[in-house]
Structure 1
Amino acid sequence: MTDDTPDSLIPYDEIVQEALRAVVGRVLGQVSTMGGSLPGNHHFYITFKTQAPGVDIPQHLRARFPDEMTIVLQNKFWDLKVAEDHFSVGLTFNQIPAILVVPFAAITAFVDPAVDFGLQFQASVEDMDPEPHEDAENDSAGASIITEDGSNVVTVDFGRKK
């Protein structure tokens, strides 16, 4: 964009972000209707802001991941439930079971490495600088979500003027 481009009065970036987060909800919804098992080699890395409104995770996880955390849905998860604006899932962290509730608005990345698909979102929580973090060490944890190899990662950023 050039400096001559006017500011939009239509919040396109917010509309697109919301639509792409709905993709995550639809995918998780399909998995939940299949009894919570993933087909084939599919597995998901889901990164979210731990301080975002509506996020409900155990205090020990919030202390360990004060800004952002990545969970892996692969082999050992249970009770995946999907609502219009959030999902909940059971995972084990260091052999301690936990139920996590994550609003779709808190998600910053969704990756399915089995098919080289990924979505990255602008943070919904204002004034939070992302910090490097370790992946959550649940029983199905694996690689990180760095995809600089030309995979199908969609990043939406309309370069809002400030």
Structure 2
Amino acid sequence: MKPTGSIIGKIDISIKNKFSLNTFPIILGGHDHPIGSLIYNLQNSIFDSWGTAETFILHTEKPLLKEAVRELGFSVGCIKNFYYLIAGIHFSGEILKWLKDNMKWKLIIEEYTPTNVLFFPFLLGKDSRKYKENIKAIFYGIDLNTHIKDLIKAVWEGVFMKVDIY
């Protein structure tokens, strides 16, 4: 494993000649969420970065290359002189678009008090090596007192306010 920014080669001579290019190094790039976390010291905290996907990132001094970490769907990477652990909710930005477009929900929370309804945001499914089946999206904890505002809050809690539950 090499850190982001490492020189990992140089342009192939045949490509250089074919396109009349100058010689230049090939430099290892990086994933947008971990690169965005560089401005923070995440030794004792977690960075929550979201857009199309939401990720949770923790910086570590040593790589967490353990089978249990991989089985839970976490990834490990390396930037400069530290490692990172990353987990996330794929498709989080699109979940809100789907609810707005397909369900016609207005995803505005006027006041926030936690709800007891849980939203598991796996609309695309979640492959897990730990579990045999492909986990799907669900609402859990709905009863006769549940209102649409509780479901909307559950989406916000499930996508933007809690760490992935596997």
TM tier, smaller:
under 0.3
TM-score of the superposed pair, with normalisation by structure 2: 0.26
Q: Which has the higher contact order (CA 8 A, sep 6+)?
A: 1
The structure with the largest helix share of the pair is 2
The structure with the largest strand share of the pair is 1
TM-score of the superposed pair, with normalisation by structure 1: 0.26
